[in-house]
Structure 1
Amino acid sequence: MKAVLTMGNGDYDMLRYCDVPVPSPGPDEVLLKVLGAGVNNTEINTRLGWYSASVSSSTEETSDVEASDGGWNDVTPFPFIQGTDCCGEVVAVGTNVSAERIGERALVRACMRKSGYQSMDNVWMASDFDGAFAQYVVVPASEVFAVTCDWSDVELATIPCAYGTAENMVHRACVKAGDHVLIAGASGGVGSAAVQLVKRRGATVTAIAGGSKMDQVMAIGADRVIDRNEDVLQVLGKEAVDVVIDNVAGPEFPAMLEVLKRGGRFVSSGAIGGPVVELDMRTFYLKDISMIGCTAWDEPVFPNLIGYIERGEIRPLLAQTFPLHQIVEAQKAFLKKQHVGNFVLIPPT
């Protein structure tokens, strides 16, 4: 089968489109024909080694890193196949899996809690083992969720990582009707998903986005959009919001805590603007702020998303598609951050 192998930490020359053997499912696994695979910061960060403690710059500024601890769980299993988002069709099953599952159109829960939900231990498809940048992928049957809807394959492929990450933050932060939520980076995959997921819970959304994308962010449900070049503290004032969802971090981090009300919740699962930030501990503890880090998805998160899709409560935000062999062009376009929503790669049929 055709696949993209990531050979190691480095630039785009680490991505090799080549032939590899079709994997075989183990007893508790299924083989999926990949119908669409989303593009995320995760794959780029892993290739660059950005998760290493030795890196302090933003994704856009990271290069030439050779990091033994550059993956989500320290060691990245190079060479391997990336691709965290997968919409696929079940085409074969292991001996312990019902053959009735063959033919299902499904989404893969990329974050897997192999030690159970009482533990925060987690592994990720495409960070810890082979993912969906290929014609076929093998995954545990328990992580494959059939979905019935009228969305296209590529629309479904926009969902797993971005919406799973966003729903996990919204869930952990206990967002509820009546809350005022500030979402940074609201035009990106996770941010735009968060706008929809916060609104479906009945909360008010103030979003931060680039000037050229503000109208699009309003169109997906934001109540107000602030240009990212504006001073958010000056615009909103102190103690203005109940929850901050911030996957940007970087120099603007201190203002995010200032705009939180006393007892507010700050939640994050990323730091594309820079992972090392300035924290005034007095702001943190004197305002009784809860800071919530999110990587491991809680148990309700992915079943929730499947329900939202099937009931028509969210909609996909497909920015652009590329054939799988154009992965370099896709990632370059992704990093320009001129889009709203998600990019999807389509393997050859």
Structure 2
Amino acid sequence: MCGVVLTGHGGLDKLEYKTDLPIPSPSSQEVLIRVGASAVNNTDINTRIGWYSKSVTSETNTGASAGFDSANDDDASWSGVPLTFPRIQGADCCGEIIAVGSGVNPNRIGERVLVRALQSPLTGDADFGCITYGSECDGGFSQYATVRDDEAFTVESPLTDAELASFPCAYSTAENMIDRVNVRAGETVVITGASGGVGSAAIQLVKRRQANVIAICSSDKRDQIKAIGADQVISRGTSLIDTLGADSVDVVIDLVAGPQWPELPDILRRGGRYTVAGAIAGPIVDMDVRTLYLKDLSFFGCTYQPRHVFENLIKYIEHGEINPLVSKTFALKDIGVAQRTFMEKKFIGKLVLLPK
């Protein structure tokens, strides 16, 4: 089969498109999927370049093409556990079940499925334990992929494979953050990095809960972000204190961190909630701890996802409550071009990869 193999941490040269990979065989509790589409995510790029290593302190794009010389392979994965190479990445996967293992109901053959991107551990059941599809196991950057039976979710939808593949990683990340901080109707929520895959998903998912959205993104994307539901758009780099005032919002959904981060606790009201699942502008920030405790703020780091998050996402898709935001599709063999386009950040939503 055709697929993209990651041979180690580093630059785009570590991604090798191959046409002679063996089609995987499902184990007793797995299913075999004919992949219809996958997508480009920050987590795939961050894993490739070793950005998760504690020795890397700069923003993602600094090493997105060539990798980071400072990255330490021993802690360069998101989990801190060294990866096994070669690895087929791809956290997003939409496709059709074409075969099942001996322990799986054969009636599943023919089902159209979405694969959960953040899955239960391969072994054990530790609190907050999880793996990423395409990281600790092979993922969707190929024509065929295997996955555990209980991590392949049936989806009934008229959407195309490309549209469905835009949902799993980005939308489950956004929904998990929103679920964790319990966004409620009428609240005011600030979303950083609002034009990216997770940010644009968060806009829709927050509006679904009838809360108000203040989106932060580049000024040239203002109209598009308003069109997908934002109530107010603030240009990236603009002072949030001057624009919104201190103690003015209930929740911050942060995907950026970086130099403007110190304003985020300041704009939260007393008892406000901050949730984070990304740091594309840089992971190291300055914080006045007095703001945290004197304002009784709650901070939530979000990686682990309870199963109900993805189950709810499937329901939203099937009920037409959220919309896919596919900016462009690429052939899987052009993954390098797709990731370069991703790094340029000139689009809204998702870039999708098609295996054909």
TM-score exceeds 0.5: yes
Measure the CA separation in 1 of the matches of 2:184 and 2:85. Answer: 42
Shift of 1:79: 1.4
Q: Is the 8 A contact 1:9 1:67 kept in 2?
A: no
Q: 1:109 aligns to what?
A: 116
Please state if 1:162 is matched with 2:177: no
Q: Which whole-Å deviations, capped at 9, do the CAs of 1:259-310 have from their partners, x for residues lacking one?
A: 0000000000110010011111001111111000000112210010000011
Look up the match of 1:7: 7
CA contact (8 A) 1:258 1:283 kept: yes
Deviation at 1:317, TM superposition (A): 0.3
Structure-2 residue corresponding to 1:177: 185
CA distance in 2, matches of 1:338, 1:323: 19
Which residue of 281, 294, 298 corresponds with 2:302? 294
1:240 deviates by 0.7
**Structure 1 residue 64 displacement after superposition:** 3.1
Q: Please, which moves more after superposition, 283-292 or 110-119? A: 110-119
Give 4+ residue runs of structure 1 displaced > 4 Å after superposition: 115-118
Structure 1 unaligned residues grouped into runs of 5+: none
**In the alignment, which residue of structure 2 is the partner of 1:43?**
44
SS of the residue corresponding to residue 76 of structure 2 reads coil
- For residues 303 and 134 of structure 1, the distance between their equivalents in structure 2, rounded to whole angstroms, comes to 25
Q: Report if aligned partners of 1:117, 1:299 keep a CA contact under 8 Å in 2.
A: no
Measured against aligned partners, the alpha-carbon deviations of 1:189-210 in whole angstroms (never above 9, x if no partner) come to 0000000000000100000011
Is 1:201 the counterpart of 2:209 in the alignment?
yes
1:121 and 2:129 matched:
yes
Structure 1 residue 149: Cα displacement: 1.1
Separation (CA, whole Å) in 2 of partners of 1:64 and 1:20: 28
Q: Distance in 1 between matches of 2:281 and 2:125?
A: 31
- AA at the equivalent of 2:186: G
Equivalent runs, 1:1-349 vs 2, <5 Å:
1-18=1-18, 19-62=20-63, 63-65=67-69, 66-68=71-73, 69-74=75-80, 75-114=82-121, 119-348=127-356
Task: Report deviation, 1:145.
Answer: 0.5
State whether residues 214 and 231 of structure 2, in contact with CA within 8 Å, keep that contact through their aligned partners in structure 1. Answer: yes
Number of residues of Structure 1 aligned to a counterpart in Structure 2: 348
Contact 1:178/1:204 (CA < 8 Å) preserved in 2?
A: yes
Asked if the contact 2:183–2:206 (Cα under 8 Å) also holds between the matched residues in 1, the reply is yes
Structure 1 residue 229, shift from structure 2 partner: 2.6
- The alignment's TM-score, normalised by the length of structure 2, stands at 0.96
The amino acid that maps onto 1:64 is: F
Gapped runs of 5+ residues in structure 2?
none
CA 1:116 to 1:306, structure 2 compared with 1: closer, same or farther past 3 Å?
Answer: farther
Contact 2:56 2:68 in 1 (8 A): no
Is the CA contact 2:114–2:154 (under 8 Å) kept in the aligned structure 1? Answer: yes
Letter of the 2:340 counterpart = K
Contact 2:237–2:260 (8 Å) recurs in 1: no
2:190 match: secondary structure: strand
